[in-house]
Structure formats: structure tokens, C-alpha cells
Structure 1
Amino acid sequence: MVSFDNSFIMNHTCIRIKDPKVSVPFYTENFGMEVVATLPFEQSGFTLYMLAFINSEDVKGKSWNTRQGILELTHNHGAETEEPYNMGEPNGGKPRGFGHICFSVDNIEAAEAQLLQSGVQFKKKLSDGRQKNIAFALDPNGYWIELIEHGSGKQAGKTSAATYRFNHTMIRVRDPKVSVEFYRSVCGMKLLSTRVHENAKFTLYFLGYDHDPEFKENALEAKDQAHREGIIELTHNWGTENDSSFWGYHNGNSTENGAVQDFGHTCISCDDPAKFCSEIDAQLGDKADWALKWNHGKMKGIAFLRDPDGYSIEILGSSFKA
């Protein structure tokens, strides 16, 4: 069995971008994120920009790989000059699996107004549709950014980026029983909450790390959940698990049939990733789907495990150094 200790966190989410001169300022100037690390890999032809909200004393000075809520922007060198440059569209007959990232804010009305004033485009404003408590902004590459409200320190007509959090990452899954069990038993996450949308025929499963032995699974209130970082949202559109004609979701990395790469991976960090990977092998045997086994790549100290839908999960150590 895989064992878990208090060092386990969901560290970051990776998305590919066209131009860092556009994307990095978008997140720093509009949302108040900070670049906590820039990792150039010249020989491999890409650079990683690690961004985060520095919103509490306990994250100041921490290495990027030892905390939750990191957004990794991956720039493949030369992408900024490619025309056309498309990201995030369904390709190869498989619908897009990655849905969005989500930021929770103190005052969602004020945050939306501030973003609109700054010229940020929206897929859905608060006034659109039936759900009046969420909005979806668009980043320069067309990625959706869900906005929800945690309400901490809320002041009428005002918003402070110092309160913002990178709450969750949403991906679609074919069979929730299989996927939820994978993230619980193999990755060590807890089921935080479940939200059933009967009319729209989909269910949301929110998972993340909680190391309190008294934590009660599937009972976290929405307000408490909105204060967290490092959550993964699994979206299940009813019926896919029994549909033999359903091809599955594009995992963001495959280029089969001309598919476009966009979403890259999520990442788990812990103190002893080598032991973690070894225990996964012991538990899953030949069912462990490694995109990259521990220490087998050019870059040492990492591994990539695929989940049941083919999404990549990076595994690295809290002492990792690029």
C-alpha cells in the first residue's frame, strides 16, 4: 500500500502559453500573482514560469516546490512567432479534457468590475446564465479562469489581490468511481465535497490533501473549500462511463491525429518521492501507467504518472532543484 505523510501537497498545475511577455504580465498585473521562480531549459527549448499568490506569512520565503497554489506557465521557445497558434481546441475526435483553473477572491463583484476595467475578456460574467455567483475570465491563450468568492475580509465595492487564492484545477473524467478511487488510494487525497447538478446531468468531485486525522471526507462546506488551494475538480458528465462509443478526453499532451497541446499536468510534491513512486509500483504493478519513471529522464528527481484518463501527474520532492 502507498503510505502518505504530512509533506504531501498538490503543488502546481502546468499550462502551455504562446508568449510569456503577454501571459506573465496578465497574471501578475490583473490578479496580483508573483513570479516565484523562472526555470530556463535552453537545451530542451523551453522555460517554466512559476507563479503564485503571496497572500500569507506562511508562504513568504518558501521554495515554490514546497507549497500549494503554484501555476506553471510553460513556454516552448519560438511559440510566440508561430501563426496561427491554437491552444485548447478539441482535436482528433476527442473533446477537451481540461476545463479551467479557478481563483477564489474576497469580493467577486468588485473583482469582476476591476478586471473588466483593465480590459480582461470574459467567457461568462456574473450577470450571464443561471449561476450568478461564478464568472469565467479568459487569459491571453483562451484558458478559462473561474472566479468564486471566499468572502474573507470582504469590503463593499473593494477587492484586494492579497486575499486571492489559486483554488482548483478542473479536468473531465470518464468514470468517477475509478478516478476518485485513484486520487484517494494512489495519490492520497481526500474527497472534500461532491456537488450534483441534476438538471445539467453532471457531478463535480473535489479532492485535495488534508492531513488532519479528524477530517471527515465529503463534508467540506463550500465557503471553507473556497479558502483552500491545491484542489482538483473531477467533472463527470453522466453516461460516459457506460458509453462504448465515447473516445475519452484529450489529456492535453497527446498530439495524436493532430491534437493541440495545451494543459500539461498537475503535480504532487512530497519529502520522499522515490519511496512514493516505489510504493505506487508495488501497489499497482503493471497497471501503473508511467509517462516517465522516477529518475529515468534527462532531468533527475522527477516522475510522471498518468491517471485513469491519461492526464499526467508530475511527482517531485520538496528538496527538488532544477
Structure 2
Amino acid sequence: MSEAKFRLMHTMLRVKDLEKSIDFYTRLLGMKLLRRNEFPDGKFTLAFVGYGPEQDNAVIELTYNWDKPEGYQLGTAYGHIALGVRDIYGICKELEANGANVPRKPGPMMHGTTNIAFVEDPDGYKIELIDLDTMVWG
């Protein structure tokens, strides 16, 4: 089988507080900080987080623009990032106990049987948690 022409590399999110965002994605969601690059001439910092090396996995690029401390408008076109989990109820309980906002509590999705939940990162970006034990593939 030949290598695909394209590969998903990363999703970029602009963040207001880089340290708070890194903490959320690493401590609460279990990702690793893969690299962090400062660009003084451009006045921005990039931090890449994920579950495995960038060479083999899609990751999230957290972009902090030094001259934009007030934050960003999320807009209506952005949807969410999805993460597969086991024990969605326990995970959501743990996330809330650690201060995360879970605006959509775990339960069956509308018009389906897969259990889902939504958590928000420090900037309000939505992350869908999908219960792999109830996921219907295909």
C-alpha cells in the first residue's frame, strides 16, 4: 500500500493564556507538550501538544500572540475537536473536579446511541468526548 498524498498534521488554536492552555491539554486531557517555540521577531509563541510524536500523529498547535492579550472571538464556523475516551462518566466527573467546564454532560447523542459530552478549554473552545465503548463505527 502506498503512502497517502496528504496527512493531517495539526489543528491550530489561538489562545489567550498559553500556560493555562498547556496545563488544560496536558494535565486534564493527558496530552504531552511536544515542543514549544518562541518567535521574538514575530511576537508569538507556538506550543504543540498531543498524544504522540508529530511525525506519526495529528496534534494541536496552541498559538499565543504576544500583542493580543485580550483574547479572540470564537466565531460561529468553528465546531470542535473530538477525543475518544473510555468511561466517559468518570472522565467528566474528574474533569469537573479539576475545574473544567463540562457544558454538555455525558449521555446519548441526539438521534443516536453513542454517548458524548462536551468540555471547554480555557478559551472556550469545545472538545467533544466520544465514549468509545458506545461508538457506532461506519
SS of the residue aligned with 1:264?
coil
The alpha-carbon deviation at position 162 of structure 1 amounts to 1.8
Does structure 1 residue 191 correspond to structure 2 residue 62?
no
Query: Once the 2 structures are TM-superposed, how far is the Cα of residue 296 of structure 1 from its aligned partner?
Result: 7.0
CA distance in 2, matches of 1:168, 1:308: 19
1:264 maps onto 2:87 in alignment: no
Instruction: Identify the residue that residue 107 of structure 2 maps to in structure 1.
Output: 295
> 2 CA distance for matches of 1:265 and 1:308?
14
1:66-105 alignment to 2 at 5 Å?
A: none
Percent sequence identity over matched residues? 38
- Structure with the larger strand share: 2
Asked if the contact 2:81/2:126 (under 8 Å) is kept, the reply is yes
C-alpha distance in 1 between matches for 2:68 and 2:38: 16
Instruction: Return the structure number with greater helix share.
Output: 1
Q: Which residue of 1 aligns with 2:4?
A: 162
For structure 2, the 5+ residue unaligned runs are none
Gaps of 5+ in 1: 1-55, 57-159, 211-223, 253-260
> 1:170-226: per-residue Cα shift (whole Å, max 9, x none)?
01001101111111111111000011111110010000014xxxxxxxxxxxxx63x
The aligned counterpart of 1:315 is 129
For residues 107-161 of structure 1, give each alpha carbon's deviation from its aligned partner in whole angstroms, at most 9, with x where no partner exists: xxxxxxxxxxxxxxxxxxxxxxxxxxxxxxxxxxxxxxxxxxxxxxxxxxxxx75
Q: Is the Cα contact below 8 Å between 1:165 and 1:228 reproduced in 2?
A: no
TM-score (norm 2): 0.84
Q: What's 1:204 paired with?
A: 46
Take 2:10 and 2:103, find their aligned partners in 1: how far apart are those partners? Answer: 23
Aligned residues: 134
**CA distance in structure 2 between the partners assigned to 1:271 and 1:167 by the alignment:** 25
**Corresponding residue for residue 65 of structure 2:** 237
CA apart distance, 1:262:
1.3
- Cα distance in 1 for partners of 2:119, 2:86 equals 17
Where does residue 250 of structure 1 map in the other structure?
73
Structure number with greater Rg is 1
* 1:81-109: CA deviation from partner (whole Å, max 9, x where unpaired): xxxxxxxxxxxxxxxxxxxxxxxxxxxxx
Would you say the 8 A contact 2:103–2:119 is kept in 1? Answer: yes
Letter paired with 1:307: D
Q: Distance in 1 between the 2:83 and 2:120 partners?
A: 12
Taking a change above 3 Å as real, the CA distance of residues 278 and 309 of structure 1, as seen in their structure-2 partners, is same
CA contact (8 A) 2:96 2:102 kept: no
RMSD: 2.2
The TM-score normalised by the length of structure 1 is 0.38
What's the secondary structure of 2:30's corresponding residue? Answer: coil
